[in-house]
Amino acid sequence: MEFVQLMEMLVHVDKALDTLIAQYGTLVYAILFAIIFCETGLVVLFFFPGDTLLFIAGAFCATGHMHLGLLIFLLVSAAVIGNTTNYWIGEAIGTRVFTHDYRWLNRDALQRTHNFFERHGGKTIILARFVPVVRTFAPFVAGVSDMTFARFQLYNITGAVLWVVSLCVAGYFFGNIPMVRDNLTTIVLIGVAVAIVPVALGGVWKMSRRILNR
- Per-residue pLDDT tens over the stretch 172-190: 887 666 665 565 555 555 5
Residue 142, amino acid: A
Please tell me the distance from the alpha carbon of residue 54 to that of residue 74, in angstroms, as a whole number: 12
* Half-sphere CA count of 10, side-chain side, radius 13 A: 21
* 3-state SS track over 128-166: HHHCCCHHHHHHHHHHHCCCCHHHHHHHHHHHHHHHHHH
Residue 42 gets which letter from DSSP? Answer: -
Question: Domain coordinates of the chain in residue numbers?
Answer: 3-212
* Alpha-carbon 114 to chain mean position: 16
pLDDT in tens, 143-170: 887 788 998 999 999 999 999 999 899 8
- Closest to 87 (Cα-Cα) out of 122, 130, 52, 127: 122
Whole-angstrom Cα distance, residue 188 to residue 182? 12
Nearest 5°: phi and psi at 12?
-110, 35
Q: Are 72 and 168 in contact (CB under 8 A)?
A: yes
CA 56 to chain CA centroid, nearest Å: 15
In the chain (214 residues long), the average pLDDT of successive 10-residue segments reads 54 69 88 91 80 85 89 96 93 73 68 72 82 84 84 93 91 71 55 48 48 52
Tell which residue, 161, 111, 164, 117, has the closest CA to residue 139: 117
